[in-house]
Chain A
């Protein structure tokens, strides 16, 4: 089955700096790559996703890049704010099965 590795497990940045979280996946047939944000004590919420026919996607301060050849994808957050502090999860799945596999998460702390 699919295996998703996520790095780093913790990340601390100063407010205004950029943050980058990286994930690798094992199944070359995977074609859907979402990112979820989970604030402390809350449920995960989708912040951005990308499909395998696209190399990059942006939404305001958040962007995701995908390298299918290397089987890795990354989340980029620019101009970080304290409210960006949360655990971020990457995930991967393919159309032919119904299993979304998550990475182990990255705890992002944005220091004011």
Chain B
């Protein structure tokens, strides 16, 4: 099993550009989520999904969109990138909430 696959690993954007971070899991997990990690701030929840067609906002959702058309995929879209979105992004999944979260390898995003 590949587990949680996240692409790209690195990305540089200019202010105002849009992009999609891809996340896929092959473990048939119901729960998928996106976190951003900033120095000294821990991991903050952006959006999450409890199944195909069901998404909801986390702690820091502004500037990001998500969709869940299949169980496997949970892409994160940056609509108009801003320097404040410079961060490391992690996708994570679990069979259900309140069980072990499996993290992807992360995407380091810089917005200039």
Given contacts A43-B90, A44-B90, A105-B42, contact A98 B100 (CB under 8 A): no
Say whether A1 faces chain B, with CB atoms less than 8 Å apart: yes
Within 8 A of A (CB), among B34-75: 35, 40-45, 48, 50, 56, 58-59
Contact A100 B45 (CB under 8 A): yes
Hey, what's the 0/1 contact readout for A1-45 against B, CB within 8 Å counting as 1?
A: 100001001000000000000000000000110101000000111
Hey, what's the 0/1 contact readout for A68-112 against B, CB within 8 Å counting as 1?
A: 000000000000000000000101010100111111110000000
Partner of A104, one of B42, B48, B101, B103: B42
Give the chain B neighbours of A9 by CB distance below 8 A: 40
Size class of the A contact interface (CB-based, 8 Å) = 20 to 34
Within 8 A of A (CB), among B15-34: 31, 33
Say whether A46 faces chain B, with CB atoms less than 8 Å apart: yes
Contact B31 A103 (CB under 8 A): no
Partner of B45, one of A49, A99, A103: A99
- Residue numbers of B with Cβ under 8 A of A are 31, 33, 35, 40-45, 48, 50, 56, 58-59, 90, 97-98, 100-101, 103-106
- Residue numbers of A with Cβ under 8 A of B are 1, 6, 9, 31-32, 34, 36, 43-46, 49, 51, 89, 91, 93, 95, 98-105
